[in-house]
A and B are shown apart, each in its own frame.
Chain A
Amino acid sequence: MLLITCPYCGPRPELEFSHGGEAHIARPEKPSELSIEDWTQYLYLRANPKGLHAERWRHLHGCARFFNALRDTTTDQFVATYKAGEPRPTGGAA
């Protein structure tokens, strides 16, 4: 089980969290003006990197707030967790 550091509550076991998929995907301002390719990309295409991945988590059974994390998918190690709205941290391994 992963130990995840909620930016609001501190380190908590994985069971308290739900996973929210890739982070930093903004809903298009004007969906009706999007090309079909861009809309497909927004709906279905997700980064699936072998390495550092920026993803959303929600501290469901805690403060219930969403936040983002940078995690290495080859080790499951968290490099950073940060509040929603903050930019993806630079640095970290690889």
Chain B
Amino acid sequence: MQKFSALELFRQGLSGQSGWRPQWRNPEPKAAYDAVIIGGGGHGLGAAYYLAKQHGLRNIAVLEKGWLGGGNTGRNTTIIRSNYLFDESAALYDHALKLWEGLSQDLNYNVMFSQRGVLMLAHTVHDVQVFKRHVHANRANGVDNEWLSAEEAKAFCPPLNIQPNMRYPVLGGALQRRGGTARHDAVAWGYARAADALGVDIIENCEVTAIRRNAAGAVEAVETTRGVIKTPKIGVSAAGHTSVVLGMAGVRLPLESYPLQALVSEPIKPVFPCVVMSNTIHAYISQSDKGELVIGAGTDVYTSYTQRGGLHINQHTLEAICELFPMFRRMRMLRNWGGIVDVTPDRSPIIAKTSVPGLYVNCGWGTGGFKATPGAAHTLAWTIAKDEPHPINAPFTIERFRDGFLIDEAAAAAVAH
């Protein structure tokens, strides 16, 4: 791997930046691997990286049906936070946040992780009570979160409208200062480059079409559009398509796939210092380093695999944005798109073994998987390597639905669903 550094940049400058090599190889798939990861987004590439780095599995491959980071990794609004209510969730998401804090150094790749703070607005008495409960629960779990009055919220985010004559006036907010954003593509590319350097084969344009199982029921190979690949272990990180992939092995999961939309504005000078979310009126906004306002909308009401959705969903979000930030009322939106998110009944993920030996799954992240990328990748790699979960992902089983141990962030959640 060609290490990135200021000195290297200077050195390449002397030769007109002509000495840079591709950041990862483009190998042909081998006939067999010790493990195969299905899905070349941040979660899957990260799992391959941690498998190689921490568990010594070097003969592994990541299979991606399209291009790296072309699914939800490239379609989300890049918000990172860990202020979830329940102990299990706080442990999982804060595990990810701690990994984010050292990720650029770990990967020797600038993922542009920016802890600019995530401010979640309260608009009703109910919101205030719920958020204060979150603040206390988070602090008891060692996760930073603090309550701001409306005036303090405005001081933290000056564009915010706190006039009392709004339809849903701002009564205050919960602020996680360690939260923020990261550059989504860089996360996929950084993991890909680091995994490749450890010998991981990253194979794009390779769609899995079937999973073969042996007489004992365990996985033995995947059939792909680029041939049959033997492997005793398969990790699936396929987001909205998890049901489709797991269906190839006869495994049903409590998942439904919905379109989730986002949009960006034309780029402008820096005006927006943090991330602001409002669950109650459905608005998620930050400003990218390129200058675009990055705005998250809600899910459509119906299940779909189309990676698009209804325009009225975006309009609903923009109405809320214009009310909260009147200065953006005349801005033009540049692009909008959708991603397919896999939603569980309790809105908590599944990172677990399945009923099929050798088949592991990381799914159910719903509307909020990007923030968990390093944590999901790390615990999935652990689960694959040791054939048992890490203590952090141990509660996030498939069986929790059968056994009544739901981690019900759907009711408690800090995000709108």
Q: Which residues of A contact B (CB under 8 A)?
A: 1-2, 14-15, 17-19, 21, 36-37, 40-41, 43-46, 48-50, 53, 55, 71, 73-76
Selected A-B contacts with CB under 8 Å, 6 pairs: A1-B311, A15-B312, A37-B402, A48-B303, A50-B305, A73-B304
Query: Quick check: is B353 within 8 A (CB to CB) of the other chain?
Result: no
Kindly state the separation between the CA atoms of A13 and B374 in the bound complex, as whole angstroms: 41
Partner of B312, one of A1, A44, A49, A73: A1
Decide: B256 and A44 in contact? CB cutoff 8 A: no
Is B67 at the interface (CB under 8 A from chain A)? Answer: no
- The reply to whether B257 and A44 form a contact with Cβ atoms under 8 Å apart is no
Residues of B within 8 A of A (CB): 241, 243-244, 252-257, 301-306, 310-312, 342, 345, 401-402
Known: A1-B312, A2-B310, A40-B402. A73 touches B254 (CB 8 A): no
Per the bound structure, the CA–CA distance linking A40 and B403 in Å amounts to: 9
Contact A48–B402 (Cβ < 8 Å): no
Min CB–CB distance A40 → chain B (angstroms): 4
Q: Is the CB of A53 within 8 A of B312?
A: no
Contact B305 A73 (CB under 8 A): yes
A48-B302 in contact given A1-B310, A2-B310, A40-B401 (Cβ < 8 Å):
no
Given known A-B contacts A44-B345, A48-B256, A18 and B304 have beta carbons under 8 A apart: no
Inter-chain contact A73/B306, CB cutoff 8 Å: yes
Residues of B within 8 A of A2 (CB): 302, 310
Contacts of A17 in B (CB 8 A): 301
Given known pairs A45-B254, A55-B303, A73-B304, the reply for A50 and B241 (CB within 8 Å) is: yes
Name the distance in Å between A5's Cβ and chain B's nearest Cβ: 15
A51 CB, min distance to chain B CBs, angstroms: 9
**8 smallest beta-carbon distances between A and B, as pairs:** A48-B243, A44-B254, A19-B301, A40-B402, A1-B310, A44-B401, A50-B305, A19-B302
User: Within 8 Å CB of A21, what residues of B?
Assistant: 256
Complex CA–CA separation, A75 to B259 (angstroms): 12
Q: Closest CB of chain A to B403's CB: distance in Å?
A: 8
Residues of A within 8 A of B241 (CB): 50
Neighbour of A14 across the interface among B255, B256, B310, B342, CB < 8 A: B310
B310 contacts which chain A residues (CB < 8 A)?
A: 1-2, 14
Query: Looking across the interface, which residue of chain B has its beta carbon closest to that of A36?
Result: B402
With contacts A1-B310, A15-B312, A18-B301 taken as known, whether A43 is within 8 angstroms of B256 at the C-beta atoms is: no
CB-contact partner of A53 in B255, B303, B306, under 8 A: B303
**Considering the chains assembled together, what is the distance between the CA atoms of A37 and B243 in angstroms?**
19
Cβ of B345 to closest chain A Cβ, rounded Å: 5
